[in-house]
Structure 1
């Protein structure tokens, strides 16, 4: 098993220690969240976790959780979530995040905002001093894509339309497009997020600010917890 996979798995298992019977859980999307869902599913099947319900952040996550028989809810069914476990593409010392590399940023942010606690799990490579080396995903309504692309280009965000292998535009589970903004270094994430939200046609951004309760990071064979 590679070092990165070991780190992801160790972080996931540490986070799952906070899952308790009776909770409504948010289940994230991506390669690190996969290990958390696997651990929760195994405990559910073994009967050591009971009376849990889960809200998946993507169709892929829903499929994985269903394979273990975990009861699923829609976000519209609840007004709060006890605990969410999800991954991140980057996090900084203030626990600000970039998410959306897997394309599920809108649902992930809805679930994160509804959660009493949000645990971010990652390998050591995701820790950065400044956000922005990872391209910032921005979810956009298809009918507004040309407009938003022009505006973001004028604002020097260097947006690139995410595409599938066949060259067609990548579609989110919400049937929207994603522009990946190549920013290099984000000096003021809060200001950038506000600016982006003021552009009509932008559904959501991959900046997750003030949402993470803890970031749990696998570092070699160890696990480090950032509060």
Structure 2
């Protein structure tokens, strides 16, 4: 039997594999993005079959998908903890010999601030990805959520750190992207990032930055959907 191919099929396989980790009674963090959407849909089908779970969405988008899938929702302050969080990534360090193995860049959907605190609160954080997201080292622009009044000051500070910040523009309307938190996003080009942990720490110290998109030491597993199935990375 021929295996379904293509990027969307790979994403679906990764998302559905992660959804298999959800057990009855779990509180599940629901990430944002096209690959995580497949996991949310799979969890919704399991709920239809009687699985008892509650979800904590990380964005308006994931909230709407979860509601459409029939997943009961809750909030972080209403539960004792999160058993499992499932989320995508824009880039994942896939060099097992690198100190940064499993480090992520997230924030293509401008939801990385909420994603980070939900993923960090989970007992287990599973990343879902297709092969295009794997890299020997991080090199995509780093999304940085900033307070609106601070974006010019933050941009100057990012420049001092060696980055080239660009205010993210919205599509379909004039003006910048506004996050679910009411903030702006700077996409900061640093080139290849040899030491993401140090850069993450420096960005975190900049006043006016709400959160950046470098995720260090948070992921436990990545499921990579391929044309043939799903590959697993453990960190």
TM-score (structure 1 length as normaliser): 0.95
Q: Is the 8 A contact 2:40 2:69 kept in 1?
A: no
Q: Is the 8 A contact 2:88 2:129 kept in 1?
A: yes
Output the CA distance in 1 between the equivalents of 2:194 and 2:80. Answer: 34
Q: 1:87-142, CA deviations, whole angstroms, 9 ceiling, x for partnerless residues?
A: 0000113100000001100000010110000010000111100102x211011000
RMSD between aligned residues: 1.2
Find the counterpart in structure 1 of residue 83 from structure 2. 82
Output the CA distance in 2 between the equivalents of 1:160 and 1:78. Answer: 38
Q: From 113, 135, 146, give the equivalent of 1:140.
A: 146
> How far did 1:79 drift?
4.3
Q: 1:57-78, CA deviations, whole angstroms, 9 ceiling, x for partnerless residues?
A: 0011111111122111112223
Q: Is the 8 A contact 1:29 1:86 kept in 2?
A: yes
Q: Is the 8 A contact 1:26 1:56 kept in 2?
A: yes
Q: 1:147-206, CA deviations, whole angstroms, 9 ceiling, x for partnerless residues?
A: 001111232210100011234010000001010011220011010011111110001110
Moved over 3 A (4+): none
Find the counterpart in structure 1 of residue 229 from structure 2. 222
1:161 aligns with 2:167: yes
Find the counterpart in structure 1 of residue 12 from structure 2. 9
Find the counterpart in structure 2 of residue 20 from structure 1. 23
- Paired residues, what number? 224
Output the CA distance in 1 between the equivalents of 2:199 and 2:80. Answer: 28
Output the CA distance in 2 between the equivalents of 1:187 and 1:167. Answer: 36
Where 2:85 maps in the other structure, the secondary structure is: strand
Output the CA distance in 2 between the equivalents of 1:197 and 1:13. Answer: 33
Q: 1:195-220, CA deviations, whole angstroms, 9 ceiling, x for partnerless residues?
A: 11111000111001110010000121
User: Which has the higher mean CA deviation after the structures are superposed, 122-131 or 2-11?
Assistant: 2-11
TM-score (structure 2 length as normaliser): 0.92
Q: From 46, 49, 65, give the equivalent of 1:43.
A: 46
Find the counterpart in structure 1 of residue 34 from structure 2. 31
Structure 2 unaligned blocks of 5 or more: 96-100
Where 1:171 maps in the other structure, the secondary structure is: coil
User: Which has the higher mean CA deviation after the structures are superposed, 67-76 or 144-153?
Assistant: 67-76
